[in-house]
Structure 1
Amino acid sequence: MQLTDALDELIQSGHINPVLAMRVLNEFDKAIATNLGKNVKAKSQLKGHLKDYRLCEEVWTFRVRNATLKLDNSEILDVDKVKIVACKMAEGSSK
């Protein structure tokens, strides 16, 4: 959210235009997807109450309330809300 807030502020102040902001967000999304796929090997467990879920244009969205996240290093996080967004991997991508 910080990136979108910063970009909105730059648009409002006239420093950048909305087209540039969208390009920045697209590049950010590509970089995150690439690096998560290559560099992150950690696993976690999630337990909680599924509030709702949906599938729209091959993108799954899950919203979980009163969740407990158990991380690889045995750290346990209790959180009020978790939103998971998952999409199909691009063709030609490796796991």
Structure 2
Amino acid sequence: MASYQLYRNTTLGHTLQESLDELIQCGQITPQLALKVLLQFDKAINNGLATRVKNRISFKGHLDTYRFCDNVWTFVLSKVEIRDVQEVSNIEKVKIVACDGKS
């Protein structure tokens, strides 16, 4: 499975990067070690989402744009209805980025 860096843009990813930057500035770790930690984070989050998450949702809406570049699909939808087992949510705009998990 490929390890994508998409999840570095989450709150958890940003917090990890800020903490690593602070440790580098204090001289407690090297930039090379920080990079290894980020690569391990990428692997762990991708593996965890692929193997541990069992929830499913369905959604429908109006497809505004789509793009396929470098094995990555990007969809922008408007007036989206997202359905979970117990809940229905209506959202004005959604952007979905989907990467091929098989490599």
Place the TM-score, normalised by the shorter chain, in its bin: 0.5 to 0.7
Encode CA deviations 1:17-55: one digit per residue, 9 max, x unaligned. 98747962x443322221111111111111111111100
Listed as ranges, the gaps of 5+ residues in structure 1 are: none
Give the whole-Å Cα distance in 1 for the aligned partners of 2:62 and 2:36. Answer: 34
**Secondary structure at the counterpart of residue 42 of structure 1:** coil
Task: Give the number of aligned pairs.
Answer: 89
- The answer to whether structure 1 residue 67 and structure 2 residue 80 are counterparts is yes
Tell me which residue corresponds to 1:85: 97
Q: Give the TM-score normalised by structure 1.
A: 0.66
Give 2:11's match in structure 1, choosing from 2, 6, 9: 2
Q: Classify 1:17/1:39 alpha carbon distance in 2 versus 1 (closer, same or farther; 3 Å).
A: same
**Unaligned segments of structure 2, at least 5 residues:** 1-9
Within 5 Å, which residues of 2 pair with 1:10-89?
20=34, 24=38, 26-71=39-84, 73-89=85-101
- Partner of 2:54, secondary structure, is coil
Which position in structure 1 is the counterpart of 2:6? none
> SS where residue 33 of structure 1 aligns?
helix
Give the CA deviation at 1:68: 0.9
Cα RMSD for the two superposed structures: 2.9
Call closer, same or farther: CA 1:69–1:21 in 2, change over 3 Å.
farther
Larger helix share, 1 or 2 = 2
Identity %: 36
Give how far 1:90 is off: 3.1
Give TM-score, length-normalised by structure 2: 0.62
